Amino acid sequence: MGENNTPITFQSFAEAISSLEKLTKIESKVAIALEKSRVPWKESRKLLKCMNPAQISNTTLFQFMQSLFYQMGLGKLEILDVSRFQFTFGFKECEICNIYRSQKGGKICFLTSDALLRFFVKDLDLPCSVEETKCMKEGHEMCEFTVDLQPLGVYKIALDDIDGALINQIINKKFDLDKFAQENMMENQAVEYRLQVLQSYQIVDSDNKITEIGSTYQKFAQGLRSLEEDFDPPWKNLHEITSAISAKNSLAEALSETLNPEPFIKVDNSEVVNLAEEAKKSKSFAELISKYMKTSE
């Protein structure tokens, strides 16, 4: 049994299967929701440039995520913390915890971790790892998840052409804040904010001098930014996503009854080959093959 985890406990086999069926329904909704939720980089960029949870809460992308994850049936999403390559999200009213009613202790929301992972990787194009760090089953107020972003993926999306021009001028020692603001038709404050973002990504140091990471990034930035596609963000079709989730849910229920009309059966233990034991007793792959072939005859 794995470290850090309490074995799942159920009052009965029926309760265990009921939990599995509820997970399957949520899984169907997650699949359909993620399929239709690809986000353009220009929107992901706004999220990546946020420096605190309040800024993130105000982005349309985060508000879309709240709606999407709620419709998947995973609970109410909140942003708790943000640092350079990490977000911490919380889920209140976590449905996965509700499914495991008899469970006491342990972190059990693997489906939620996986849904966050798939959303970040497939829909935001941001490679990452996700880990549940707190769970309501451990007595916490909400389930918490850290999303650790791969820096290369962040650099690919977070910085735009204006940032590229800014970095170029810094490298060539031609950067002048007033002039840059004027050339790009923006307030000085906006340029200062961009510099802060570059500092937070360690592209420039606290004196706005280019770093090793910054010069490496700039060598390849042009190629990476050229991969950007422009398309409508998914919240323009939120109604379509909502309808698809409802339709998929009804279809999954219908299919479940049709394909698995009598899912419960009984089998005598003596009829079953214990594969793990057989494999342990076999000294080689060839020996296991031989045993397996005999049992198949």
* Residue partners of 92: CB distance under 8 A and separation at least 6: 75, 76, 78, 141, 142
Cβ of residue 67: shortest distance to another protein, in angstroms? 21
Q: Does residue 243 interact with another protein by CB under 8 A?
A: no
**219 part of the interface to another protein, by CB under 8 A:** yes
CB 297 to another protein: min, Å: 8
Question: Cβ contacts of residue 51 below 8 Å, gap of 6+?
Answer: 82, 196, 197, 200
Question: Is there binding between residue 227 and another protein (CB under 8 A)?
Answer: no
Q: How far is the CB of 267 from another protein (least distance, A)?
A: 6
Tokens representing 41? 């980089």
- Quick one: which of 16, 80, 186, 244 contacts another protein (CB under 8 A)? 16
Half-sphere exposure of 115 (CA within 13 A, CB side): 29
Residue from 120, 115, 34, 135 nearest 85 by CA: 120
Q: Residue 292 is encoded by which pair of tokens? A: 């397996």
4 binds another protein (CB under 8 A): yes
Count of residues interacting with another protein (CB under 8 A): 68
The tokens describing 128, both together, are 């990452």
**Minimum distance, C-beta of residue 241 to another protein, in the bound complex (Å):** 17
Q: Which of 263, 241, 259 is nearest to 251 (CA)?
A: 259
DSSP state of 261: S
In the complex, which residues of this chain contact another protein (CB under 8 A)?
A: 1-8, 10, 13, 16-17, 19-20, 23-24, 26-28, 31, 85-86, 106-108, 110-111, 114, 129, 131, 148, 150-152, 202, 211-213, 216, 219-220, 252, 255, 259-260, 263-269, 271-276, 279-280, 282, 284-285, 288-289, 292, 295-296
